Chains A and B, each alone.
Chain A
Amino acid sequence: MSSELNSEVTMDGNQGAAAAPAAVSSVELRGVTKRFGDFTAVDDLDLTLGQGEFFTLLGPSGCGKTTTLRMIAGFERPTSGEIAIDGEDVAALPPHKRPTNTVFQSYALFPHLSVEKNVGFGLKRKGVGKDEIAERVAAELQRVGLAREANRRPSQLSGGMQQRVALARALVNLPKVLLLDEPLGALDLKLRKGLQVELKRIQREVGITFVYVTHDQEEALTMSDRIAVMNRGHVEQVSVPEEVYDRPTTTFVAGFIGVSNLMPATVSAAGKVRLDGGPEVGADTADLANGERCAAVVRPEKLTVSMNGAGPEAGRPRVEGVVESSLYLGTATQIVVNLGGDVRMTVLVPNADEAERQRLPGGGAKVSLSWAPEHMHVVRESPNGNG
């Protein structure tokens, strides 16, 4: 009760006091499950988001990321589980009573209202005074660079501008949590890149917790403080971008982030895995049991390809295969090597030297791939399938 009173008071700008302890959780999901008929969209989800964090839900379409976002916003009710915002259970609250605001994928700007009225909509509902609304709306439009468009209709703006209006309309209310549902999905690549940087800047500036939904792994890696990779209603891994990229924990995460270079293997002993049809290699198997199925990941840029016969550097693990294709990509050459049994490895060879590039093996050549032991990383078979 007292915390509720407190937050009422701090609405007027005394927010520094409330946000002081950084460890305070902003959004907490405990055992959240959502079923639509027979289909389980989100299954027993646990997530804890920090105050002021840029948190991304990443995954392919149908993985439950948007459903999760919509449950936080209040558009969907969890079948079971709890959702708390700033420690307060919001499960029973309808969307209009939650301290969240959403930027929709389609922007959902009100077509019959001017940009100014769109942005001021939320403040007016809260009963903020006319002058204050005008002031805050103007400041927010200034922030997103649309001060001159205040009196125009949304239909008169470009896609990028509409996206900014949608952002301003949500941010002007100073929500405790801002929810963004693939907000850049409809924009072209160049505009998207620019807005990524801007979104990140605005998020730092306002210090509001962002929950960002995307299927674009690059976008997630660029912008997030932490990423939750989702697959079929489950979270496969929650970590900082570097971790997710360099040390994926499951085959799904490894496959979804970057190029899927997975070699099926079995844990043969503590600290050792045997690649299927290949050598036994030392690896960190701390989380895995003896005899457990797993996969070894080596990033394309860490692999060395050599023609059969020419031995690789001594002591390095190696596997044999046949070149399937070789593609010239400008700065690099991409070689796909089939290790047999549907296992394909992609190798990226930088095009540093033209003569060297000419010597690279072509299609059908028998080659061996080798890598430094420290560049191989073992991941668990994803319990939810590989999407």
Chain B
Amino acid sequence: MSATAPTAAPGQETSPGRGSLSAETGPARAWRWLREHAVNIVAILVVIYLLVPIVVIFVFSFNNPAGRYNFTWVGFTLQHWSHPFSNSELTEAMLTSIKLALLATVVSTIIGTMMAIALVRHKFVGRRIANFLIVIPMATPEVVMGASLLSFFLILGTPALGFETLLIAHVMFCISFVVVVVRSRLIGFDRSLEEAAKDLGAGPFTTFRLITFPLILPGIFGAAMLAFALSIDDFVISNFNSGTTVTFPLYIFGAAQRGIPVEVYVVAMILFFATVLAMGFATWQQRRAERMTSIRPEQESDIVLPGIA
């Protein structure tokens, strides 16, 4: 086939392919271009799919709706952006959410980090089971967890559902994620670094403070970010255990019945941008950490003899 093609080409000057390689027909060229860029095109479509809802909210945060419903575009205004916290109910819910998320993050990060260290570093009875059980809250449907937490609080005779029960619930579901993130960081940890520190005269605590902790810090930081993100937008579990306390997601859910004020869009966007910034920072931290730990000699030297392992 390939041998006959070049000789046949000159004689078939009139065929649709026109023989010459440089002059493809329009559809053929388009098809080739499509094939070559298929991955990029699909990627762009996926990104658009993911971003469109956010863009819509962003756009409608500048809307000037006529009635209570902010669903049709009326006109552009900066009014809501200039007074994002004019709605006191919304602001209060937002502050409650931030306070709750910060506290839940701190508590779950501390407990989760300690648990991860115990699970990776120490051998004890039940370690295997604990390692398995820790992912259960991640796999349990939120509705089930929320309902069972509520009955748990009621059985215990909690005086009143509110901020405290919310905090307990949030810490509970955040811990699993913290443990999983920090644990993965600890598993990849080069233990000889700790041995080196001890060898150089550092006791167990000093070794942890000067070597282990700084090196797993990016992991802990990432875990904390995740915990915060999970806590601040939790609706299902919070809905069961909030009592009269209103968090940001609970407020929006309630407001949706009566029409969502535009301020919600604005505050949501502020939250979104803050998250993007924080994520960018976390990624940068992670990169830096990876660069620091990638100093194993076998990776560094590009002239290692093949037989040495």
What is the CA–CA distance of A273 and B291 in the complex, to the nearest angstrom?
Answer: 63
- Is B172 an interface residue when CB atoms closer than 8 A count as contact? no
Which chain A residue has the least Cβ–Cβ distance from B301?
A: A159
Asked whether, in the complex, the Cβ of B297 is within 8 Å of the Cβ of A173, the reply is no
| One of B196, B200, B304 near A186 (C-beta < 8 A) | B304
Contact pattern, A 171-202, Cβ under 8 Å of B = 1, otherwise 0:
00100000000000111110000000000000
Q: How large is the interface on A (under 10, 10 to 19, 20 to 34, 35 or more residues)?
A: 35 or more
| Chain B residue with Cβ nearest A127 | B201
A110's partner among B193, B198, B203, B297 (CB-CB below 8 A) is B193
Hey, which chain A residues are within 8 Å of B206, CB to CB? Answer: 125
Chain A residues with CB below 8 A from B200, complex form: 96, 101, 121-122, 125, 169-170, 173
- Interface 0/1 of A44-80, CB less than 8 Å to B: 0000000000000000000000000000011100000
Tell me the smallest distance from the CB of B190 to a CB of chain A, in Å.
7
For the complex, is A163 an interface residue (Cβ under 8 Å from B)? yes
Q: Is B24 an interface residue (CB 8 A)?
A: no
Tell me the B115-134 residues at the A interface (CB within 8 Å).
Answer: none
A163 to B294, CA, bound (A): 15
Which residues of B in the span 274-294 have a Cβ within 8 Å of any Cβ on A? 291-294
Interface size class of B (residues with CB under 8 A): 20 to 34
B190 & A155 in contact (Cβ 8 Å cutoff): no
Bound-complex Cα distance A27 to B198 (A):
20
A73–B196 alpha-carbon span in the complex (Å): 10
When each residue 280-299 of chain A gets 1 if its CB lies under 8 Å from chain B and 0 otherwise, what string results? Answer: 00000000000000000000
With A108-B192, A112-B292 as given contacts, are A186 and B297 in contact (CB-CB < 8 Å)?
Answer: yes
Interface status of A245 (Cβ within 8 A of chain B): no
Q: Is A100 close to B, CB under 8 A?
A: yes
Query: How many whole Å from A62's CB to the nearest CB in chain B?
Result: 14
Q: How far, in whole Å, are A154 and B199 apart by their CA atoms in the complex?
A: 19
Q: A95-B195, A188-B304 are in contact. Are A111 and B201 (CB under 8 A)?
A: no
Which of these, A96, A106, A121, A170, contacts B297 with CB under 8 Å? A106
Bound CA span A110–B198, Å: 12
B202 is an interface residue with CB less than 8 A from chain A: yes
CA gap between A103 and B123 in the complex, in Å: 28
Separation of A73 and B197 alpha carbons in the complex (Å):
12
Give bound CA distance, A173 to B201, whole Å.
10
Which residues of A sit under 8 angstroms from B308, Cβ to Cβ?
185-186
- Chain A 123-167 per-residue mask, 1 if CB under 8 angstroms from chain B, else 0: 001100000000000000000000000000111011110110000
Shortest C-beta distance, A101 to chain B (Å), equals 6
Assess whether B295 is interfacial by the CB under 8 Å rule: yes
Judged by a CB distance under 8 angstroms, whether B215 is at the interface is yes
Alpha-carbon distance A303/B197, docked complex (angstroms)? 52
A-side contacts of B293, CB under 8 Å: 111
Q: Knowing A111-B215, A185-B308 touch, does A101 contact B297 (C-beta < 8 A)?
A: no
B164 at the interface (CB under 8 A from A): no
Across the interface, A109 reaches (CB within 8 A) one of B198, B215, B295, B301, namely B295
Given contacts A106-B190, A109-B295, A155-B292, contact A100 B199 (CB under 8 A): yes
| Bound Cα distance from A72 to B83, whole angstroms | 70
Q: How far is the CB of A109 from chain B (nearest CB, A)?
A: 7
| Binary contact readout B201-235 vs A (1 if CB under 8 angstroms, 0 otherwise) | 11100100001001100000000000000000000
Q: Return the CB mask of A77-113 against B: 1 if under 8 Å, else 0.
A: 0000000000000000011110011101011111110
User: Is B36 interfacial (CB-CB < 8 Å)?
Assistant: no
Other 5 A-B pairs with CB < 8 A, given A108-B190, A111-B293, A159-B304: A95-B198, A111-B292, A158-B301, A169-B196, A185-B308
22 A-B pairs with C-beta separation under 8 A: A74-B199, A75-B195, A75-B198, A95-B195, A95-B199, A96-B202, A97-B201, A102-B195, A102-B196, A102-B199, A104-B192, A104-B196, A111-B292, A111-B293, A112-B292, A122-B200, A155-B291, A155-B295, A155-B300, A160-B301, A186-B297, A189-B305
Q: Which residues of A contact B (CB under 8 A)?
A: 73-75, 94-97, 100-102, 104, 106-112, 121-122, 125-126, 153-155, 157-160, 162-163, 169-170, 173, 185-189
Closest 10 CB pairs of A and B: A125-B201, A159-B301, A122-B200, A108-B196, A186-B297, A111-B292, A108-B192, A155-B295, A95-B198, A159-B297
